[in-house]
Amino acid sequence: MRYPMEPIFEVKYKDMMGRIGLLRTSRHELETPTLLPVVNPSKLIISAKELYEEFGVQALITNAYLVRKFLYREAIKSGIHGLLKYKGLIVTDSGAYQILKYGGIDAKQREIVEFQEAIHTDVGIILDIPTGSELDENRARFTVEETIRRADEAVRLRRSDDIIWMGPVQGGTHLDLLGYSAREMSKRPYPILALGSPTVIMERYQYEALVDMIATTKMNIPPSRPLHLFGAGHPSMMSFAVALGCDLFDSAAYALFAYEGRYMTEDGTLKLQDMEYLPCSCPVCSKNTANELRRLEPGERARRIARHNLWTSLSEVKRIKQAIQEGRLWELLERRSRAHPALQDALLALGRHNEYIERHSPSDKPHGILYFGRSSIVRPEIMRFRRRLRKCFGSCVGLRSIMFITYPWGRLPKRLSKKANITLRKYNDRYVGKISETVFVPSLGPIPTELLEAYPAGKIMMPSDLDVETLDDTIRFSRDILRRKGHVLVIADGSTQAKGILERSRWLRMMMVMHPYKKTEEQRLNKGT
């Protein structure tokens, strides 16, 4: 019996493309985004029972091919849950990773599908052909077409209606093939889709390419389908995967790194041999010192590091969820992007897809936005506001403008000089009924006074000393909007920030009339002291 295509995913909160959702299977409910630790029953560094009872892990992934090869009788007798002694949701991979690593396996798709049904897995995966880091387009096309063929074959082989099947999307860095694969898999009865072949990309720190791969996949699948990312192991990049729309991701890195003495943090990886302190308060780090861990025998040392690595990874998932709930996922990305240049490249690469991200991001949030600099220009809220602002100005035929450049940003001047008042009165008399007062707000542009309290204009915090990229970008945007509306009157105060804006634009200086205050900001400060 084929698994019926019915809604199994409910979204609770959204920010960017990231979402907190509820995934329902026939036996479990799972909140996403979720990290699925990889468990090898033949080499347990942390048992599945410990994962469930001590770490609170509600879902894990294991390899059906390896279980079939080494633990066939026990798995058939006890089922996969009994074999692992695990009460949560279990996803079984098909052995495709072994195909990617070794070039093939000694099993057919029919055998893998039938075995997954026999051991009563919760989520099964077909035996696809991974593209990996394949650069040859013809070979990459073969992996895509063969995976689609096998997806159709697996539908005919399925008999159980208790298993949800995951459909892999292949194509690697060939984005046209990746988009085609995503569209074709979306047409087939696979309630969960999975982006394959990112492991090598991530091992090489090619996070910019990974951004394009995830974004291309998301743009070609229905929003109702949860997306799994294979092998997304390190906590430093999990927030990027979630921000682009990944709901599930698996990791064996917590264990593999531990065997090598590599200690995970949310910003990167440290080598235990070089550490004097353990910068963490998890149960492992609060009871051990770095020197004590080094003195342990290798097996016990690896076990404890693996436990720390898993705590770190799970904590990052919770941190991501809280950021989504608060509407601060972008701020989390900016913090993570400072950890490695490749992550900074990934953040900037989001700008290539900002139109799609912005279209699916919430239009309002309970909190204001924090603006840090150049990388914040392409955040969805700013792009949406600019697009709407451009449209708003375009509908005002014959508009004349007064633009105030004042600090603090987004504030109207409280007092004008006598000369400034006379100039404004003449300007109003000349263009009666055709004048719009605007305020220059860095990153957003010339904001009509009526919109100063609208989101995000009224809820944006930024440093007083802004980077030149932000200032130049906002000046260009302001000029493009206001130039089409005829005469513009620019009035700036005497603050250092306003002077800096004027110095960067000949166009603004030409429009400049006078600053509105009788005394400059510096003069008032000196008087106050």
The burial class, CB within 10 Å (0-12 / 13-18 / 19+), for 150 is: buried
Decide: helix, strand or coil at residue 8: coil
- List b or e across 314-345, with b for residues whose CB sees 16 or more CB atoms inside 10 angstroms: bebbebbbebbeebbbbbbbbbbbeebebbbb
Stretch (H or E) spanning 38: strand 34-39
**d(C-alpha 78, C-alpha 121), whole Å:** 12
**Integer Cα distance of 126 and 231 in angstroms:** 16
Exposure class string for 427-443: b at 16+ Cβ within 10 A, else e: beeebeebbbbbbbbbb
Phi, psi for 397 (deg, rounded to 5): -75, 135
Geometric angle at alpha carbon 242, from 236 and 244, rounded to 5°: 115
Backbone phi, psi, residue 388, to 5°: -70, -35
Strands 34-39 and 248-251: parallel
Decide: residue 464, CB within 10 A, 0-12 exposed, 13-18 middle, 19+ buried: exposed
State the Cα–Cα distance between residues 337 and 236, nearest whole angstrom: 8
Question: Is 152 assigned a catalytic role?
Answer: no
Instruction: Give every CB contact of residue 454 below 8 A, 6+ residues apart in sequence.
Output: none
Identify residue 40 by its one-letter amino acid code.
N
Amino acid occupying residue 503: E
Select from 171, 179, 168 the least CA-distant residue to 144. Answer: 171
Bridge pairing between strands 435-441 and 445-448 = antiparallel
Cα separations (Å) of 451 from 193, 436, 445? 42, 12, 12
Distance CA 208, CA 343 (A): 8
Residue from 93, 247, 250, 493 carrying the catalytic annotation? 93
DSSP class per residue in 431-467 = TTT-EEEEEEETTTEEEEGGGTTSTTGGGEE--SS--
* Residue whose pair of structure tokens reads 């992550």 in the numeric block: 343
d(CA 368, CA 346): 24
In terms of C-beta density within 10 A (0-12 exposed, 13-18 middle, 19 or more buried), how is residue 526 classed?
A: exposed
Nearest to 15 by CA among 318, 169, 242: 242
> Active-site residue numbers?
93
